[in-house]
Amino acid sequence: MNEDGQRSFDSLGKVLVIIPTYNEAENVRPIVKRVRASVPDADVLIADDNSPDGTGKLADEMSADDPQVHVMHRQGKEGLGAAYLAGFQWGIEHDYGVLVEMDADGSHQPEELPRLLTALKGADLVLGSRWIPGGRVVNWPKHREYLSRGGSTYSRLMLDVPLRDVTGGYRAFRRQTLESLGLGDIASAGYCFQVDLAWRAVKAGFHVVEVPITFVERERGDSKMSRNIVAEALWRVTAWGVGARASKITGRRPLP
């Protein structure tokens, strides 16, 4: 604890919370405020994909008022994976020791961030998990839950990763972990990006830990989930899994 009673994460290095945004004008102020209250020492990077609803302008206003809030203006909507990759690169260039993925819509509760950072003291990557004991989802229709559970189970079996929530996007990485994952050749742009990173971390021998979180369905704005995102994930995970199995037979290194 520090002098203000807040839990200290100084041993991990500077913490950067990366929040990609596209049309999140209703959500961006509340989520940043909650992050800053939950872990006051953490910085925030808002990576905005040129939102037509003015999210980028609001982000600039917050940055002008708070030196721990930074803004990255991107050219357009290029996908979640591309936004995170750009955020990771920015964080590495600015010497952050921890880089956190967090959604802008409130589904990832900033109040649970200290739990992820505490676990990271003994790990290389921490996943906020909905599907381990203690984890749960709130206000999700059953078809969304089945889709998410099924996607994680399929990914776990196809890729042989010992993780219950492979598709979740609330994560804390040590900088050294990200630098070792070959970020330059990641092609997945949608939510499949999360599966890709988790699989790479496990294959590289990093210590990956899951901690339970409560995932809350967004109250404002529209979900970015689409059939194309699901189709991309299914196609890529299947290709990766088949390739990994083939490599065991042929002795060739599988493509990521």
pLDDT tens for 161-180 read: 999 999 999 999 999 999 99
CB-based contacts of 67, cutoff 8 Å, min separation 6: none
Dihedrals φ, ψ of 173, to 5°?
A: -110, 140
Low-confidence ranges of the chain (pLDDT < 70): 1-7, 189-190, 219-230, 248-256
How high is the pLDDT of residue 249?
Answer: 67
Q: What is the pLDDT of residue 223?
A: 57
pLDDT at 4: 41
DSSP assignment of the chain: --TTSPPP-GGG--EEEEEEESS-TTTHHHHHHHHHHHSTT-EEEEEE---TTSHHHHHHHHHHH-TTEEEEE-SS---HHHHHHHHHHHHHHTT-SEEEE--SSSSS-GGGHHHHHHHHTT-SEEEEESSSTT-EEES--HHHHHHHHHHHHHHHHHHT---S-SS---EEEEHHHHHTS-GGG----STHHHHHHHHHHHHTT--EEEEE-EEE--SSS-----HHHHHHHHHHHHHHHHHHHHHHHH-PPPP-
Q: What is the CATH number of the domain that holds 181?
A: 3.90.550.10
Whether 5 maps to a domain, the answer reads no
First-to-last C-alpha distance (Å) of the chain: 41
Within a domain: 157: yes
Give the pLDDT confidence score for residue 24 in this predicted structure.
96
pLDDT of residue 3: 41
Could you list the residue range(s) of the whole structural domain that residue 223 is in?
A: 10-250
- Compute CA 189 distance to the chain's CA centroid, rounded to the nearest angstrom: 13
Place of tokens 């940055």: 63
Look at residue 4 and tell me if it is in a domain.
no
The pLDDT, as a whole number, for residue 226 is: 58
pLDDT value at residue 229 = 66
> Do the bridges between strand 43-48 and strand 125-129 make them parallel or antiparallel, or are there none, so unpaired?
unpaired
Considering the domain boundaries, does residue 77 fall inside one? yes
Q: How far apart are CA 43 and CA 99, in angstroms?
A: 10
Give a yes or no: residue 15 inside a domain: yes
Q: Sign of the C-alpha dihedral, residues 209, 213, 215, 220?
A: negative
- Tell me what pLDDT residue 151 has: 86
Q: How many CA atoms lie within 13 A of 169 on its CB side?
A: 23
- Whole-angstrom Cα distance, residue 146 to residue 167? 13
Which pLDDT score, from 0 to 100, does residue 1 have? Answer: 52
Query: Does 1 reside within a domain?
Result: no
The whole-angstrom separation of Cα 101 and Cα 99 is 7
As for how many domains the chain has, the answer is 1
Q: Are 31 and 100 in contact (CB under 8 A)?
A: no
- What is the distance between the alpha carbons of residues 12 and 121, in angstroms, rounded to a whole number? 7
Tell me if 194 is assigned to some domain. Answer: yes
